[in-house]
Amino acid sequence: MSRNSDVLRGMRDAVPVGLGYLAVSFAFGLAAARMGIPALSATLMSLSNLTSAGQFAGVGVIAAGGGLAELALTQLVINARYFLMSCALSQRIATHAPLWQRAVVSFGVTDEVFALSMAAPKPLSPHYSFGMMGVCIPSWTLGTALGATLGGVLPAPLMNALGIALYAMLTAAIVPPSRDNRLLRFIIVLSMAVSGAAAVLPVLSAIPKGLRIVLLTMVITGWAALRHPLEEAPDA
Amino acid sequence: MHNIYLMIMVMALVTYFIRALPILLLRRQIRNRFINSFLYYVPYVTLSVMIFPDVLTSTGMLWSALAGFGTMLVLSFMKKNMFLVALASCLVVFLTETLVA
């Protein structure tokens, strides 16, 4: 497939994600403004970071007058899951893709872009990623600017309704392949059950959420890979 | 408050570093069966762990979140596309919140 059509396909597939990003980044801009972060700063943060949980935590640290080390450590813990996602992605990108393309693709690794990338045909075309980034980065940045400047003009039920959009997209990325695969279905249910339990159990719930996600992923995925190794090259 | 632009830059650098390291370094195809299996299961496990239980607190009340969560599970299982799943889940949350409140 040609580069241009890969870019267009990426843009088209990312439209729902872009709409969800508009809503969530609007909420982020609003939250940042309420914590005293200037609109320009919040917008630049979205443009350069492109991550939801990390930014929410980041403005919290900044507003509380935290230091650079604390800020860096918070990002490291909360965003550590991207490391695992990038490991999985590294094996999907066409091996002949030049290094600069890999460097650009890396910037756009978000939970939703990762979900779309793993659902895309293999090998993953960097231009497909560029297309997704072309939609996701502007909408994440624009939503932040709007939220930070317009503030609470949207009624609460509408904001609440939009808050669930990203979870719906992540669900729509992992559940469909599980319909015809009992093992995947079991792994999804198991992961959610363990995660739900870990959020309320005494010792586990004390671990910061970002770190908990990484720990649970390592343990559950490690178990699955040992008990149910793939038959051959992973093409499923 | 420290210089806010410096703080934003530090956040961006740490986050980029985490994302780029594996993609820039792991360029050859990995042949190890365990690692391949591990990487194959990563998306399902990590996204499941992120969805639940956080989805339950993503709206204004538990009931609307449960209704939205049920909607997205059923529609995804029916292999509906991502846009429809998101739209329907938002709509169900909105209706639940306006009806219950």
Could you read off the pLDDT of B23-81 as tens digits, one per residue? 999 888 888 888 888 888 888 998 898 889 989 988 889 999 999 999 999 999 999 98
Q: Which of B20, B43, B58 sits opposite A167 (nearest CB)?
A: B58
Q: Give, in degrees to the nearest 5, the angle at Cα A228 between A223 and A229.
A: 100
Q: Residue-wise over A211-223: b if at least 16 C-beta within 10 A, else e?
A: ebbbebbeebbee
pLDDT recorded at residue A5: 92
Domain boundaries, chain B: 4-100
Give the amino acid at B83.
F
Q: What is the pLDDT of residues A132-141, one digit of tens each?
A: 999 999 999 9
Which residue in chain B is spatially nearest to A218 when comparing CA positions? Answer: B42
Which residue in chain B is spatially nearest to A205 when comparing CA positions? Answer: B53
Contacts of B59 in chain A (CB under 8 A): 160-161, 163-164
User: Residue A139 and residue A39: Cα distance in Å, rounded?
Assistant: 16
pLDDT recorded at residue A235: 47
* Dihedral sign (CA B61, B91, A51, A77): positive
Q: Widest CA span of chain B, in angstroms?
A: 56
φ/ψ bin of A23: left (φ > 0), alpha (ψ from -120 to 50), beta (otherwise):
alpha
Cβ pair A24, A143 in contact under 8 A: yes
pLDDT recorded at residue A192: 96
* Rg over CA atoms, chain A: 19
pLDDT recorded at residue A173: 80
Q: Is the peptide bond before A177 cis (omega within 30 degrees of 0)?
A: no
Question: Which residues of chain A carry a pLDDT beneath 50?
Answer: 234-236
Contacts of A226 in chain B (CB under 8 A): 34
Q: Give, in degrees to the nearest 5, the angle at Cα A145 between A143 and A150.
A: 95
Residue A109's nearest CA partner among B11, B39, B27, B21 is B21
pLDDT recorded at residue A105: 95
Q: How far is CA A112 from CA A50, B64, B94, in A?
A: 11, 23, 23
DSSP-assigned beta bridge partners for residue A124: A93
Q: CA neighbours within 13 Å on the CB side: how many for A47?
A: 10
Which residue in chain A is spatially nearest to B68 when comparing CA positions? Answer: A164
Residue length, chain B?
A: 101
User: Residue A123 and residue A118: Cα distance in Å, rounded?
Assistant: 10
Q: Give, in degrees to the nearest 5, the angle at Cα A119 between B53 and A212.
A: 30
Structure tokens at B28: 């050859």
pLDDT recorded at residue B1: 54
Q: Cβ B89–A105 below 8 Å, yes or no?
A: no
pLDDT recorded at residue A52: 81
Residue A209's nearest CA partner among A188, A224, A223, A195 is A195
Residue A59's nearest CA partner among A77, A79, A75 is A75
Torsion (CA) B38, B40, B45, B46 in degrees, nearest 10: 90
User: Residue A121 and residue A100: Cα distance in Å, rounded?
Assistant: 22
Q: Which of B11, B25, B45 sits opposite A58 (nearest CB)?
A: B11
DSSP-assigned beta bridge partners for residue A93: A124
